[in-house]
Amino acid sequence: MPFEARMAALLEEARAVGVLPTELDEAHMQGLFERFSRNLDAAERYVPSEFAGRVTLFRAMNRPGGKRAGAKLAAAWRKVVGDGLTICDVPGDHYGMLQEPHVRTLAERLQACLDEATARVPAGAA
């Protein structure tokens, strides 16, 4: 089956099961797929260097692979930031944590991190 036909079938099926909105057309879907492909290519080529600062990883609690995947993700980040890593689990999946109702939890935890970081800045240094 040609690529275009596979994309059309995928779009139709995704609409039917309610994963994608019915108003999403093939051109938009093609653009999303191309962007995803470019991002995936870039991610596969990227080699991170060590970072000496602090990093907070907001990790989705509902993720494919469950706790094992979460542990792998944390280990990968620790290779880059070592002991500077703080993990903050947030309800939802990768996309769902950015939508109601989970985005409220994410916002609260992000604000707490910003408040903590601001409190560590010496007076007059900002």
Annotated domain spans of the chain: 3-45, 55-120
pTM: 0.68
126, pLDDT greater than 70: no
Cis peptide bond N-terminal to 101, omega within 30: yes
Distance of alpha carbon 85 from alpha carbon 52, whole angstroms: 10
Q: Could you read off the pLDDT of 60-108 as tens digits, one per residue?
A: 998 888 888 889 999 999 999 999 999 999 999 988 999 999 999 999 9
Please give the sequence-ordered ranges of beta strands (E in DSSP) within 1-126, or none if there are none.
Answer: 55-60, 85-90
- For residue 60, list its beta bridge partners: 90
